[in-house]
Structure 1
Amino acid sequence: MTKKVLILGAGVSGLTSGICLLRNGFKDVIIAARHLPGDISSEYTSPWAGASIITAASPDDYRLHEIDLDSKKEFARICDNIPDAHVSRTDAVQYVRQPQATDEEVYWVKKIYDNVRLIPKQNLKPGMSHGYTFTSCVANVPKYLQWLLKTYRSLGGRIERRTFNSIQEAIEAYPDVDNVVNCTGYGSHDLKDVKDDALFTLRGQTVLVRAPHIKTQYYDDSTTCWTYIIPRGDGTVICGGTVDPDNKVTAPDEAITKDILKRVYEMCPDITHGKGPNAFDIVSYNVGFRPARRGGIRIEKEIKHRSNGQKVTVCHNYGHGSHGYQSSWGCSQRVVKLLKDERLSKL
């Protein structure tokens, strides 16, 4: 495989796509991006994630099921073999507010997670219809992104800090590139030759606290706001959160912070040793913007041409919303399939 690949974007999707391509016969891969791991910017989504490997797929979203199952396999391999990646297995508790557990939901939960148990009714929090305990993985985001970057470079991948206003501009700037992988996230809303109006942002506000005694993940899947507790494995815990479509405010909202800490404390009083929602040991307040997409993730191939007529294959991989990490390996594996198989146009 001698074809050269240009990847636009160095978030979790771009880096993971680069690794998968290099592992599967593509020898010449370069990433071009405005932001790189270590940068702090509200426009750079990946560093703000909780990165718990918890599926966002509904029980009947079979496409996302397959993507998440493929990702689960790779995260399990990483957990077992690569401590430097800073991905760890943790116990998890998920509370569900919808009226009852369907057979499809129970089947999917048992398929995607390990050690699944239904929470007895008497142990449910008020307002919950049912819930599960299970085992899943969590990535320590800053360290995991650095591991992805290190792995990508160790495989021979190159990276440049560059920005483009269109994919056409990028393929003209790299005249020897045969393939482009578009991992620009919400940037695909603004690229002049993509302008995907199905994209929208989901503002997420979180609080990073110090609570080394918390080893279990907790989730409340309310449709109006998400409440979650995600231990990072280094003594810090991500507390969230919010789901706020098309809100572009980058500064943390104090009222939202108080509400998050109140909800988190109600779900797990032990996080402050029962001392109340004002007793958190706060490390930082965070705001990020999830690049969501109506219609789901776009993993699709198209053909573009340079001004000299040369053909370039473009593969899109964006629109992951709140599940960029948990779908990252499955999506990237599908990018490889699309670029290797000329008969396929989308997955």
Structure 2
Amino acid sequence: MASLQKHILILGAGITGLSTALSLLTSPTTKNHKITILASHVPGDLSPEYTSPWAGGHWRSHVGLSDSDAENRTWDEKTYKTWTRWLKEGDGLGGQGETMEEREKRMGLGFRTCHYFWGKDGEETKGLDGSGIWFRDVVKDFGILDLETGTEGGVPKGAIMGMRYKSVCFDPPRHLEYLFERVKGLGARLVKTRVDTSSGLEGGVKDAKRQAGVEGIDIFAFINCSGLSARHFLPPEEEGKLFPVRGQTILVKGEAEKMMTYVGIPGNPDEEMLYVVPRPGSGTAILGGCKQINNFSTEVDEELNRRIIEGVKKHKLCEELRDKETGEFEILSYQVGFRPGRKGGARVEVERDGGVGEGKVDGTWVVHSYGHAGAGYQGSVGCAERVVELVASLDGESV
């Protein structure tokens, strides 16, 4: 049975904050609660501080087969299955007779074939038969590519293994807008503001209440989905676990036919890889990329741009996007963003060190969901459902 209405504040309007809001507003245990989102950046904003719009992106789980990755595997699998259901069955908002093309544009999601190649041995390439890929039985149309014949398309030079599967690609700006529209339609309120976190977590909770106009009102929970910004108000031992993973990409005209990735490229730094990601319904694609740990530079690295473009050309990852006469891509923009990394992986838990009241902070439960690094989108639905479970458990509901 759903509980009586309570008020919940969410800090952050990126993929984690918006997915969390949607899950809270659609779960039987929490759908009657009042949701207020506080954020300095919202869908439509373009700032290096706002990570979510700069993603590639597509569904590809980054975790392995170890026991320590079990929860992340659950989050990723739930997200893949939910996105698949939305695309196949709709969400009830698209109108009768909505086509798949119309649905892709509305949601910012779309099915695309993914070809993924490795140039170096690793956990996932053991046996070269797919046995190291935990999600081989989760995704649709999984298979190992024949590198010798290349019957399913081009094979990058130096690749030792390749897989294919049906992925869900996304257009981040549009998908964020889609989630934003849904949560507003379900009654969520947005306060665009920069919460003062200079006096720590308790100060942040108090200022969030003030800016939300709810001082003196019982706020049941404060959900921290602030990404890298969490380092500004958490204790030093936790702050030290957070770090940026810089990404740099190139937005080009045209949607690639397939999602293509090549990692562990012989002769290339491990922090660099090549990928081509179509953004469904947008008429554009992303070329990348890199994962540069502890790099906060917002400046575009022109030499990296050159290596990305030359690499994509050399390995023929999306020949269909090159001009037939000049052989060049039509470049629309260069992009820099910062994935919110955390030592030990994402933190998704109830704050238990509030000082008084069994962990409450300023009389309010605090639930954290940050540090998702490059997995914010592909685990977004599953992680949000975990936050709902935590909130419901605090509300006396069964987890």
Which string of whole-angstrom CA distances, capped at 9 and with x for unpartnered residues, describes residues 150-202 of structure 1?
00101111110122314312432424311011000001111145752111101
Report Cα offsets for 1:29-78 as digits up to 9, x if no partner. Answer: 11111111111111000010112111111232222111100111111122
Q: For 1:282 and 1:244, how far apart are their aligned partners in 2?
A: 23
Partner of 2:273: 226
| 1:169 paired to 2:203 | yes
Contact 2:254 2:284 in 1 (8 A): yes
Is residue 2:133 matched to residue 1:101? no
* Displacement after TM superposition at 1:327 (Å): 0.8
State how 1:195-234 maps to structure 2 within 5 Å: 195-212=238-255, 214-222=256-264, 223-233=270-280, 234=282
For 1:72, the equivalent position in structure 2 comes to: 80
Residue number among 369, 381, 385 corresponding to 1:333 in the alignment: 385
Q: 1:319: which partner in 2?
A: 371
Structure 1: segments with no counterpart, 5+ residues = none
Report if aligned partners of 2:205, 2:362 keep a CA contact under 8 Å in 1: no
Q: Distance in 1 between matches of 2:204 and 2:342?
A: 23
Alignment match, 2:97: none
Letter in 2 for 1:301: V
Match of 2:99 in 1: none
Match of 1:86 in 2: 108
**Aligned with 1:114 (options 137, 140, 146):** 140
Cα distance in 1 for residues equivalent to 2:83 and 2:318: 30
- Cα 1:246–1:169 change in 2 (3 A) is same
* CA contact 2:259–2:276 (8 Å) conserved in 1: yes
Match of 2:229 among 187, 190, 197: 187
**Separation in 1 of the partners of 2:382 and 2:326?**
38
Aligned-partner residue type, residue 50 of structure 2:
Y
2-structure distance, mates of 1:68, 1:291: 17
Q: Distance in 2 between matches of 1:277 and 1:53?
A: 33
1:1-347 aligned at under 5 Å gives the runs 1=3, 2-24=5-27, 25-26=30-31, 27-60=33-66, 61-80=69-88, 81-82=90-91, 83=103, 84-99=106-121, 100-102=125-127, 105-122=131-148, 123=150, 124-162=155-193, 163-165=195-197, 166-173=200-207, 174=209, 175=215, 176-193=218-235, 195-212=238-255, 214-222=256-264, 223-233=270-280, 234-267=282-315, 268=317, 270-273=319-322, 279-303=328-352, 304=354, 311-342=363-394
- Give the Cα separation in 1 of the matches to 2:251 and 2:391: 39
Change (3 A) 1:167 1:277: farther
Task: Name the SS for the 1:101 alignment partner.
Answer: helix
- Secondary structure of 1:63's aligned partner: helix
Superposed displacement of residue 226, structure 1: 2.1
Q: In the TM superposition, what whole-angstrom CA distance separates every residue of 1:102-128 from its partner, at most 9, and x where no partner exists?
A: 477445141232101111130343222
Per the alignment, do residues 71 and 253 of structure 1 end up closer, same or farther by CA in structure 2, a change over 3 Å counting? same
Quote the offset at 1:278 in angstroms: 6.3
| TM-score for the superposition, normalised by structure 2 | 0.80
Aligned residue identity for 2:118: V
Distance 1:270 1:310 in 2: 57
Are the counterparts in 2 of residues 262 and 277 from structure 1 also a CA contact under 8 Å?
A: no
Deviation of 1:249 (Å): 1.1
Distance 1:28 1:343 in 2: 14
**Distance change >3 Å, CA 144–CA 342, structure 1 → 2:** same
Find the aligned partners of 1:117 and 1:276 in 2 and give their Cα distance: 35
Aligned residues: 344
C-alpha displacement of 1:305: 6.7
The 3 A distance-change label for structure 1 pair 274 and 126 is farther
Quickly say closer, same or farther: Cα 1:186–1:309, change in 2 above 3 A. closer
Whole-Å separation in 2 of the counterparts to 1:158 and 1:343:
21
Q: CA deviation at 1:274?
A: 7.9
- Give the secondary structure class of the aligned counterpart of 1:263: helix
- Change in Cα spacing, 1:299 to 1:263, as seen in structure 2 (3 Å) is same
Q: What's the secondary structure of 2:9's corresponding residue?
A: strand
Contact (CA 8 Å) 2:11, 2:39: kept in 1 or not?
yes
Q: Following TM superposition, by how much is the alpha carbon of 1:263 offset from its aligned partner in structure 2, in angstroms?
A: 1.4
- Change over 3 Å in CA distance of 1:15–1:183 after alignment to 2: same
2:390 and 2:356 mapped to 1: Cα distance? 21
Matched-pair contact (CA < 8 Å) for 2:130–2:144: no
Report the Cα distance in structure 2 between the residues aligned to 1:118 and 1:128, rounded to whole angstroms: 13
In structure 2, the CA distance between the partners of 1:219 and 1:287, relative to structure 1 (3 Å rule), is same
Change (3 A) 1:23 1:229: same
Identical columns (%) = 28
> Could you tell me how far apart the structure 1 residues matched to 2:226 and 2:131 are?
32
Tell me which moved more, 169-178 or 18-27: 169-178
Deviates more, 1:169-178 or 1:183-192: 169-178
